[in-house]
Amino acid sequence: MATHSLFLLPGDGIGTEIMAEVEKLIAHTNAKGWTDFTTENGLVGGSAYDAHGVAISEEDMEKALGADAVIFGAVGGAKWDSVPYEVRPEAGLLRLRKDLGLFANLRPAICYSALAEASSLKKELVEGLDILIVRELTGGVYFGEPKEITELGNGQKRAVDTQVYESYEIDRIARVAFDLAMTRGKKVHSADKKNVMKSGVLWDEVVRQAAGDYPEIELYHILADNAAMQLVRNPKQFDVMVTDNLFGDILSDAAAMLTGSLGMLPSASLGAPDAQTGKRKALYEPVHGSAPDIAGQGVANPIAMIASFAMALRYSFGMIDLAGRVEKAISDVLEDGLRTGDIMQDGCKRVGTAEMGDAIIAKLG
């Protein structure tokens, strides 16, 4: 069996508590002979600042660049609110995204049957929901230049952000979406605002061109504002949705909330395939932050972190079967009525972080 290297960056707050459950899971799958992962741990965020005065050390950046996948917990906390801007905890995550070239952000929105009642939408609209939003992460209006506020001299100011995309940026994210859709329902919605934005016109043109290489994919165009409406009206019509950085930021948060708690939401960020090996750089992390309000109490929900690890199994290592079994184990413990505080429901059993992790591992057999 091939040996794969994982670089674990637990970070701050609950990051260390939820990463401990992934470490137990890795030890289990290795012991069973299902995987052969080697792991190394590093520091990121506030914990790296305390140790090295930076949000991630050069040595740990080297390890992240050399690993087959990076598994990231969460960073931040009040303790580091007043550290210099360049070394604030989030700078560690931004550096990782930039240096690993992670341009594709994958945000699944999966509604486990046992939690369908907890959604803000009607149960029948969300039960069985399984959407994957593919968001462009390194371009668009968050990075385009000029980006400035200028004084107009008449007591007024003018703010400018620039939405800019080049065709190669659109082409590569479209191909990620099509590749992923080929492993799922083979249906992609591409969301933009081509009715009012030139970047939307180019987006649509390039996405359609790339689709020519994927004859089995059903491609639909949707205006981003309509996508927002459809997500809350009839979310199950979607399989994969691909969109730019700004619309993806908003649409992925809206889709995520259809499924309940922040503590349930995994994510992955992928880079371009290596020209020689075809392997992509990748970082897997829960969507939530370091939850300082509950850190150190052993009550955090480890499911988003464990589900992020399942995404690594699927997308970095092609272990589709094992990824599915981990996801099924999560679903099974929820069916059994086990709940951490954030997803607690009447009649269920409240458990802590370690108990939830142990129960998921036990379901794997």
SS3 45: coil
Q: Looking at beta carbons only, is 185 or 292 nearer to ligand NAD?
A: 292
Shortest approach of ligand NAD to residue 102 CB, angstroms? 13
Shortest approach of ligand NAD to residue 71 CB, angstroms? 13
Q: Looking at beta carbons only, is 210 or 305 nearer to ligand NAD?
A: 305
Q: Looking at beta carbons only, is 91 or 188 nearer to ligand NAD?
A: 91
Shortest approach of ligand NAD to residue 81 CB, angstroms? 8
Separation between Cα atoms, residue 66 and residue 345, nearest integer Å: 43
Q: Looking at beta carbons only, is 60 or 192 nearer to ligand NAD?
A: 60
Separation between Cα atoms, residue 326 and residue 321, nearest integer Å: 9
- Token pair in block for residue 126: 């969300």
Separation between Cα atoms, residue 330 and residue 111, nearest integer Å: 12
Which active-site residues does the annotation give?
A: 142, 193, 225, 249, 253
Rounded (to 5) percent helix, strand, coil in the chain = 45, 20, 30
Under 8 Å between Cβ of 107 and 135: yes
Q: Looking at beta carbons only, is 197 or 257 nearer to ligand NAD?
A: 257
Beta bridge partners of 7: 40, 70
**Strands 240-243 vs 130-136: parallel, antiparallel or unpaired:** parallel
Q: How far is CA 171 from CA 104, 267, 272, 316, 365, in A?
A: 12, 21, 12, 21, 42
User: What's 34's DSSP letter?
Assistant: S
What backbone torsions phi and psi does residue 148 show, to the nearest 5 degrees?
-160, 165
Q: Looking at beta carbons only, is 145 or 293 nearer to ligand NAD?
A: 293
Q: Binding residues for ligand NAD, per CB under 6 A? A: 14, 74-77, 93, 262-263, 285, 288-294, 300-301, 304, 340, 342
Q: How far is CA 212 from CA 175, 217, 223, 314, in A?
A: 11, 9, 21, 26
**Strands 69-74 vs 104-110: parallel, antiparallel or unpaired:** unpaired
Shortest approach of ligand NAD to residue 154 CB, angstroms? 37
* CA within 13 Å, CB half, 241: 32
Residues 6+ apart with CB under 8 A from 132: 106, 107, 108, 109, 180, 184, 239, 240, 241
* CA within 13 Å, CB half, 11: 32
Shortest approach of ligand NAD to residue 112 CB, angstroms? 15
Shortest approach of ligand NAD to residue 358 CB, angstroms? 16
Q: Looking at beta carbons only, is 114 or 210 nearer to ligand NAD?
A: 114
Q: Which helix (H) or strand (E) holds 323?
A: helix 320-335
Shortest approach of ligand NAD to residue 18 CB, angstroms? 6
